[in-house]
Structure 1
């Protein structure tokens, strides 16, 4: 498929994991892809692998984003798609979070999306483009000891709805993807912690445990999320905006209070 021929896509947090997978997918469908992130080395490797443009920058910094967009305009042209994928931080309970911890979560998850979306809107209005927010099923329900992360992922859904309401009349679509467990380096580190807590022998055992009650019974691959992103930002989804799409193997349809009735 070549749904993105002659289109320019910017992905934040694109050096590894879901971001890198989306970069590969958009490039495979003809897009000119710019990859933004703070870690220059993995960002360059991901960009080089697809013939994309690496733009090292902090997506929460208005100045750095403005400079990055100027470079993208010069090399690739104006944006048709913005994917706000940067995130992280915010783990621990509310009492565990210092002001510094909390602010780091706001910066990494919410401010990166606000700053890049605001900067990209002139292009996206002119080209009737798309914004995609990468939230999480943590934006729909709370996991334990992840107060900052849960709060910011909920906020991203609200941000997407606000953008949808205000800029839909100007031709901009904005949607949100909420992945469940996805096998990435970040998730692997969480599995390592679970292995220690539960005395598990392998990462595979840890993933099996966290997806035990998921209807499809397994974590997603980063490419699964990339496929959903490529659809939502394409002309095939021309009438879809303000939507929240879960890519979670059915995790969020499970009625947690009844799990005990299905256990042997």
Structure 2
């Protein structure tokens, strides 16, 4: 990755911030995109790079981001479309505003990022990674907007890979399961309150049936991103790489037999 320029959305915290740290150690030049300037500046203090504060789901913001990237680096070798958000509630509990917010945070942000950065990626024959989820493969309870948007991300991945592969651009998705990030820590709070347990016990509860029996570290997902951006993945495009500790391979209807 030495000397390559990589753009990361949602770069101020969680997986995005750890991706930035990993790629900086490998010698990459970074473009850090996010809505909150202070976290981005904190990451940039450790990794260097260009901070661009704005909304990844805004074509207006991309209209000012791209010239800044061209001026600073000339092009892009890689993009990690990591920005995302929630989409809680069943369909009947999801208002118009909730639905639109879920699509904007999880799908529109990836589409606008891809559309804006593709000319630069074509120029460099670069690679694009979309951050999906195992919610792109199966449905959890009461997360209609999130599940739908993440499923759509796989369709977007395949469409982009099909259309831009002939121009040398590779496009892949990553489907993590639970990852220990501040967002996931917050999602553990209801379990902690309900069962009177600490954070470690809550994570143990949600990964009890996961073959590896633990959540991922953000550094592990960053390593997958780095691989997909690198020449080591030069023949891989249109794929969704599952990084979930094995949770998506579990045959749920047979779980009861393991408790006999």
Q: Give the aligned partner of residue 25 of structure 1.
A: 22
Secondary structure, aligned partner of 2:91:
coil
Secondary structure, aligned partner of 1:118:
helix
The Cα shift of 1:247 comes to: 0.8
- TM-score, normalised to structure 1's length? 0.96
Structure 1 segment 168-247 matched on structure 2, within 5 A: 168-197=165-194, 199-247=195-243
Q: Does 1:153 align with 2:150?
A: yes
- TM-score, normalised to structure 2's length? 0.98
Secondary structure, aligned partner of 1:220:
coil
Q: Distance in 2 between matches of 1:70 and 1:106?
A: 27
The equivalent position to 1:101 in structure 2, one of 98, 104, 117, is 98
- What are the superposed Cα offsets for residues 110-166 of structure 1, whole Å, 9 maximum, x if unpaired? 111111101111111111111100000000000111100000000001000000111
In structure 2, runs of 5+ residues without a counterpart are none
Secondary structure, aligned partner of 1:178:
strand
The Cα shift of 1:89 comes to: 2.0
Q: Does 1:118 align with 2:115?
A: yes
The Cα shift of 1:200 comes to: 3.0
Q: Distance in 2 between matches of 1:196 and 1:157?
A: 34
Q: Give the aligned partner of residue 127 of structure 1.
A: 124
Secondary structure, aligned partner of 2:209:
coil
Q: Distance in 2 between matches of 1:263 and 1:34?
A: 49
Q: Give the aligned partner of residue 75 of structure 1.
A: 72
Q: Distance in 2 between matches of 1:15 and 1:76?
A: 20
Q: Distance in 1 between matches of 2:193 and 2:93?
A: 20
Q: Distance in 1 between matches of 2:196 and 2:258?
A: 23
Q: Distance in 1 between matches of 2:54 and 2:73?
A: 17
In structure 1, runs of 5+ residues without a counterpart are none
Secondary structure, aligned partner of 2:222:
helix
